[in-house]
Amino acid sequence: MAEITVGDLLAWDPRLMVAAGSEPAAARDVLEREIAWSVAARAAPPMLPPLRGGELVLLSHRILDDLPEPLDSVLAELERLGVAAVALAAPPGQGLPGPAPVLRFIADAPTSELEGELNRLLTVRRGELYRTGNDLGRLLAAMTSASAASEAIVAKAAALTGLPIRLARAGEPTEPAPGDVMAAAPAGLGLTIVVGPATAAASALSRMVAERVAEAVVEAARRTEEQRPRGAARVAALNFHLFDEHRFDRSSVLGLGLPAAGCFRVLLGDSGFDAARLSRLARTVGVVHEAGMTQGWPAAVADVRSDLTLATLQERLETALRAEGRTGAWLAVSGSVPSVEALREAAQQARFVARLLARGAIRGPVAAFDAVQRMGVYQLLYRITPDTALREFAATALGDLPAGDRHGELSRTLLAFLEAGGSGVDAAHRLGIHRNTLSYRLRRIAQLTGQDPADPQRRLALHLALLARDLVEPPEQSE
């Protein structure tokens, strides 16, 4: 039988209420007690039938006037006998005595009629809970037998009961809102079922549903844990979810053991790394999940410690990288994302940064996508999608330069000149050529592009066009 509390009965029948002056903590204790039946005291002895505990005892005006003992003593004895609560007929504003908070009631009819009405109400509501519990039990049993995922169980239970239900995993906010009912799974599983917000009248149903659904979700979580891929199979599965083109499946990713929420970053190491070395470096900033290889680079997901700033994260990784003692080693790091749903985006960011590091377009040895000082304008160009937009811009701004620059000599000259801020001396020095040679190439570039690189108002568009072209074309196509 589903549990019904004193608080539920008060929500269902407005004639019952907590007496004025009750201490809040003590009142909550009474309202949370399970109630069996209501019992009205009689004027003729015996005043009450044998009590088994859990009753709501109703004391009318007449009974209060004819008590053989002081009210305090009667209330103390009823508390000792385990009644759920005592309700007295009293004016609304009157404080009432007692060792524990008491209730008051307003009844126009005799107390015996109120007793019958309350018991009929309890019977009806128990029947409703019993039927809903049976329907829910059949549904959960069927889903458990079918090895349904936790999210599917929660969704079906919500549809059946009409209650808002959600599953909060470790790291996700579970602070209850008014009207929420929560049921936590055993320690270690990191799962909490939240039902609500619901009205006070639906509290009994919400509690029953939360408990039943939590049991089913715990069973699903334990089954998932038993079936979870281990070792190389887990690495391959995480790699698939990060880098392969397919519809993202949140449940499958959570089934690999990643928390639902955190402070995630995807890390890629250059081709000189192996998985063990990358994991060793990543552990300096958080919990590591190996993710296989992508485009020849080892990958890992780090659940970064929340107290690490971006600057501290880069400093720790660079320190660990220097300790490796390998010349030219680099690490590409995605921006921080708060949930597993965003891991695919983080993986794309990490690959973008890795391509830039591999080409020497940005400085290492550690570059994070959200470090604008390191990424510069590339961070903005990343957000221009699709690639066709970048191609069209580069083609328009560069004109005939790609066709007339088969070996990439003019493109490299233009980039060096622009990176030198339009200084011919610095550009010639960077390229290791004579100033006259530089001047000839710049004139040729102006002819092919239709824009004079020496004109400060033209430089930004030319510079962006060169960078954009390198993002959408393999390096060999731009040489």
The region of weakest confidence among 7-16, 64-73, 79-88 is 64-73
Q: Which residues contact 252 (CB under 8 A, 6 or more apart)?
A: 237, 241
Count of the separate structural domains present in the chain: 4
Give mean pLDDT, residues 45-64.
89
Of the three residues 87, 103, 121, the one that is the final residue of a domain is 121
Domain range holding 41? 6-121
Residue 156 placed within a domain: no
Residue 133 placed within a domain: no
CA gap 135, 208 in Å, rounded? 12
Q: What is the pLDDT of residues 417-448, one digit of tens each?
A: 988 888 889 989 989 999 899 999 999 999 99
220 and 258 in a single domain? The answer is no
Nearest partner of 417 among 469, 454, 458, judged by Cα: 454
Res 378: pLDDT:
87
18 and 93 in a single domain? The answer is yes
> Does the model's pTM come out above 0.85?
no
- Are 416 and 430 in contact by the 8 Å Cβ rule? The answer is yes
295 and 414 in a single domain? The answer is no
Q: What is the DSSP string of 104-173?
A: EE--SS-HHHHHHHHHHHHHHHHHHHHHHHHHHHHHHHHHHHTT--HHHHHHHHHHHH---EEEEETTS-
Pick the more confident residue, 54 or 110: 54
Alpha carbons within 13 A on the beta-carbon side of 155: 5
- Residue 479: pLDDT over 50: no
SS3 194: strand
Residue 282 placed within a domain: yes
377 and 238 in a single domain? The answer is yes
Res 377: pLDDT:
86
Residue 74 placed within a domain: yes
393 and 447 in a single domain? The answer is yes
Confidence of residue 223 (pLDDT cuts 50, 70, 90): confident
Res 122: pLDDT:
96
Q: What is the bridge-based pairing of β-strands 38-40 and 56-59? A: parallel
239 and 215 in a single domain? The answer is no
Q: Rounded to an integer, what is the distance from CA 182 to the centroid of its chain?
A: 17
Q: Cα–Cα distances in Å, from 24 out to 33, 58, 90, 101, 102?
A: 15, 22, 20, 9, 12
Confidence of residue 99 (pLDDT cuts 50, 70, 90): very low
Structure tokens at 198: 């619901």
- Residue 316: pLDDT over 90: yes
Structure tokens at 313: 């994260």
Of the three residues 381, 408, 434, the one that is the final residue of a domain is 381
Q: What share of the chain is helix, strand, coil (3-state, %, to 5)?
A: 50, 15, 35
Give mean pLDDT, residues 233-262.
84
Give mean pLDDT, residues 321-338.
90
Residue 140 placed within a domain: no
| Residue whose tokens read 């149903």 | 205
235 and 366 in a single domain? The answer is yes
- Are 332 and 362 in contact by the 8 Å Cβ rule? The answer is no
